[in-house]
Amino acid sequence: MLYSADALCQKLLCQCGLCQCAHGRLALRAAGRSVPVRQPPQVAGSYTGSARTSTAVNTALIQLAAAGLYCAAGDFHIDPWRPVPRAVITHAHSDHARAGSALYFAHLDSLPLLRWRLGADANLQGVAYGERFRLGRAWVSLHPAGHVLGSAQVRVEADDEVWVASGDYKRDADPTCAGFEVLPCDTFITEATFALPVYRWRPTADVAREVLDWWRGCAERGEVAVLGCYALGKAQRLLAELGALGAGRVLLHGAMLPAVEIYRDAGVQLPPTAAVSEQAKGMDLAGELVLAPPSALGTPWMRRFKRASTGFASGWMQVRGNRRRRGFDRGFVLSDHTDWPGLIDTVIGTGARRVLATHGSTDVLVRYLAERGIEAQALKTELGGEN
């Protein structure tokens, strides 16, 4: 529901009319009233350090350069798309972690995934969540993003400013990775993959039950249930959620195997799995659930299944036409990115004076925030959407 500026003030402001919380600041801005100078709010479960506020924003703290997001104060890039001397990596998806850089900083849980992605020779430096380290004049720390195993937001403090680059993130609970942490900051660089009001996620457990019911229905009809999902993050989350519901063995396309084993080695509880390629040739796999990359569906690989029903688990399945256009029998709405309400709540929770939006429906988000008194603009990067 959208509110007028007056209604927003009535709904969000404290009785004193000088609310110091992020919601109150948004309401004051929306009403055209001055915002009291304050330290950004301490949000429950969020970063407990300071986020100093200065009169002017140092636009050079993190800027868009030819190789990616660049911090001159620390002389490093965040998720660069070209080789650089020093890279701080938010997570191990291929659009954020690319080979060729001289040195990579990433969360400890990301290191095995990055070795798989970048090769055994990659020069990796592991960092714990909340651990501060110095690069040049900048203090840098990594904080949970809730996207995939080891995913992190990058907090940068320098020149009396605090900036946070979110990387990809979600606000929903996920048994396979640490939950998102709200970080007070002056400028927040956020993804905008699903930055449209139509994208609102249901509880993951409900989606997992839908998948389980579909699987059982396929078994009753003598079909193989082949579910398309991304090999890093989505597959492991689905396995964990299905395992919590008592699901038995799940078969995997070969592309799924490395990341699943890395998650197991990290202590993530997953149900039993086996490779499709390990099953006897010509064996009837009716009644089995198979997880495969979306790119494998509709290829000759599918010929080994005599009768199959196909599904796809993705946030894009929120729009029914996407399922029809892609030719899937079933669509399951499940994303490792935040939905629209989570995106707006996160922006408000940071208390940021300025928001920079990357990869996704950036124009919609920028316009929405600007209409509510938050300085916002889009950044065109080479980062992707849902992985």
pLDDT tens, residue by residue, 15-44? 222 233 333 444 334 334 444 433 333 323
CATH superfamily for 63-198+337-379 is Ribonuclease Z/Hydroxyacylglutathione hydrolase-like (3.60.15.10)
pLDDT mean over 300-304: 94
Per-residue pLDDT at 256 exceeds 60: yes
Percent of the chain residues topping a pLDDT of 90: 79
Strands 68-71 and 63-65: antiparallel
Which of 4 and 98 is assigned the larger pLDDT?
A: 98
pLDDT the model gives residue 386:
60
Q: Do residues 189 and 356 make contact, with C-beta atoms less than 8 angstroms apart?
A: yes
Q: How confident is the model at residue 49 (pLDDT cuts 50, 70, 90)?
A: very low
Per-residue pLDDT at 307 exceeds 60: yes
Q: Is 173 helix (H, G, I), strand (E, B) or coil?
A: coil
> Which CATH number describes the domain made up of 204-332?
3.40.50.10890
Both tokens of residue 262?
């890395």
pLDDT the model gives residue 325:
66
pLDDT the model gives residue 359:
87
- Rounded to an integer, what is the distance from CA 381 to the centroid of its chain? 16
Q: Do residues 84 and 67 make contact, with C-beta atoms less than 8 angstroms apart?
A: yes
Would you say how long the chain is, in residues? Answer: 387
Domain boundaries, the chain: 63-198+337-379, 204-332
Give 384's contacts (C-beta < 8 A, 6+ positions apart): 93, 95, 359
Per-residue pLDDT at 327 exceeds 90: no
- Prediction pTM value: 0.84
**Fold matches, 63-198+337-379 and 204-332:** no
Per-residue pLDDT at 384 exceeds 60: yes
pLDDT the model gives residue 7:
35
Q: Which residue has the tokens 């707006």?
A: 344
